[in-house]
Every structure is written in C-alpha cells, then in structure tokens.
Amino acid sequence: MKLSKSYPAKVLILGEYTVLHGSPFLTIPYNGCRMEWDKVHGSAVDPELEDFLQYLVLTGTDFLDLERMEEDVRCGVSLRSNIPIGYGLGSSGALCAAVYDRYALKKTASVEELISIFGLMEAKFHGRASGADALVSYLDKAVYKTDQGLMLGQDGLLSEKWTFFLLDSQQSRSTKAYVETYLNSIRLEAAELEGLVRELLEAILEGKESLIGLFFSKISKVQYTLFGAMIPDHIKKIWATGLEGDQFYLKLCGAGGGGYFLGLCKNDLMIHSEPTFFDLPVRVLHSTQVQP
C-alpha cells in the first residue's frame, strides 16, 4: 500500500567534498531510482527507520513529530527503495527527505532553512553533511549554489554537446569514512578545486559548451592526483585512459571509494546503457534540471 509521494535519488554533478565548507555545487534529481513510503504486511519493523528514529530522539530533534513516527514504525510503516546504498545516489538523503516530509511539525518553504535542517539529519549517516542531497530529493529539483546563494533549477538539458554518464564501479563504500579522511588530511590541499568548480558551474549555467569540457577535464586531473585513495584501482585505470586519450573524463560522484563515478564525453562517443568501451555498466544522464 503506497502511503505518499516518492523521493528521487540525486547526482552531485560538481562540488565533491568542497561543498562541506560552503563552496559552489550543483546537484540534480535522478529519477531512475526512487524511495517511497510503504506499509508492509503485519507489524514488521523497518530496522533502518527504527535506527534513524533512535538517532533523532537521542539528538533532541524538535522539528519532527517523533511520537507519530514511532507509532508508524511500530505499526510496520516502512520505506521501499531501489536507490543503491553506498553508491553516491543519495539513499540517506532520500530517507531524510521522506522523514521530514511526513513528520515535520511545521514545514518551511525557505531553501536556506531546509538545507540547514537536512544537514542536521544527514549528519547521522555522514558525520558532517551539507544537506544538499536531501534538499534535492525533497524538492525534486536541481539545486546549485553560486556566490549569490542557493538557487533552484528549472527543466532543461544539461548540455547539447556533452554526454554526462554514471560509471558503475560495482562495489559499494562508506561515505562517512571518506568524509573523515578528507576533513582530516586532504582539505587544505583542495583549495584549487573550489575555483575550478566555480568555473564549471558558470559554464554549465551559461551553456558555454567548450568550457564545460575544459573545466571538467581540469577537475578530473586534480581529483585523480588529490583523491587517489578514493579511486578503486580498476576505475583508476579507466580514469587514466580518459585523461590520456582526451575522449572522456571521470570525476568523483559523491564520496568516491566505490559506487558510481561521474563521466563526461562528447556525444559522438556514442555512450549507451551497457557500452563495451568501459567494460562496466553505465547510466546516461539524458536530461536534467539545471537551467537558471
């Protein structure tokens, strides 16, 4: 029995890790995977939902109706999802969005307030979180941040010249562990990325096709060196091939370490759903919501 609307996965197009300290970012909904409320037969308790409830209680969360949430959990209300866990598609963000949407004592329409609330909720899963994942899932819209603040995207193609795709590493990872590694030992070395992210975001929003490829390739090169520990060996080989041949480029899609990696290639490379070019499964991002 379906109880309410569903919540999409997300893809972080740019802003990996730097988003944690306020840099520009762009993240979009991915409707290929979604989460929705469900009522299971009998009174089986959803363990993930129960665990999240306990966390919310212990942290003194006061913006959610936790009594009602507890009643629902005990009655077998659960979440059904086809968003892969540990893949960078925002399964925890969708969970936070669903819980807020159903149990918020007083919903806010302020994007700034929402991202703050979701940051607190997502901290359970990531240790430190921007809140952007849950915001995208909750609003089902692209969200990006410029120097002027948070913005919502409208329907439109991401690019007419370039194909964005997700490369499946075929292994999951723990976001929290990699976030801690970044904050403790890499953050100070990542300053160069913030400028490149800003340039790429501007190119995407203004439709400057040649600059999209230029700045994506630069980010790819920096990440290959800086985040080497977060790139599995078999992905690292493909990544290096892209940089050497200048046909396609890879970058992290979230925390790295596993899950999906985000790729960019020219349309004439003919990326399909299961290309032999990479010898790994690929999902193509045909159309997104990014135009300002």
Kindly report the CA angle at 154 between 151 and 157, in degrees rounded to 5? 120
**pLDDT averaged per 10 residues, the chain (length 292):** 76 88 88 87 81 95 96 91 92 96 96 94 84 93 90 67 89 80 76 90 89 95 91 94 92 91 79 59 66 44
Rounded CA gap, 14 and 26, in Å? 5
Predicted pLDDT of residue 102: 96
Rounded CA gap, 101 and 4, in Å? 10
Amino acid of residue 37: W
Predicted pLDDT of residue 269: 64
Enumerate domains of the chain plus CATH numbers: 2-152 (3.30.230.10), 155-291 (3.30.70.890)
Predicted pLDDT of residue 276: 53
**Tokens standing for residue 217:** 């390739």
Predicted pLDDT of residue 289: 44
What's this model's pTM, rounded to 2 decimal places? 0.88
Predicted pLDDT of residue 39: 75
Rounded CA gap, 206 and 256, in Å? 28
Instruction: Give the residue among 35, 64, 66 at the shortest CA–CA distance from 50.
Output: 66
**160 secondary structure, DSSP code:** S
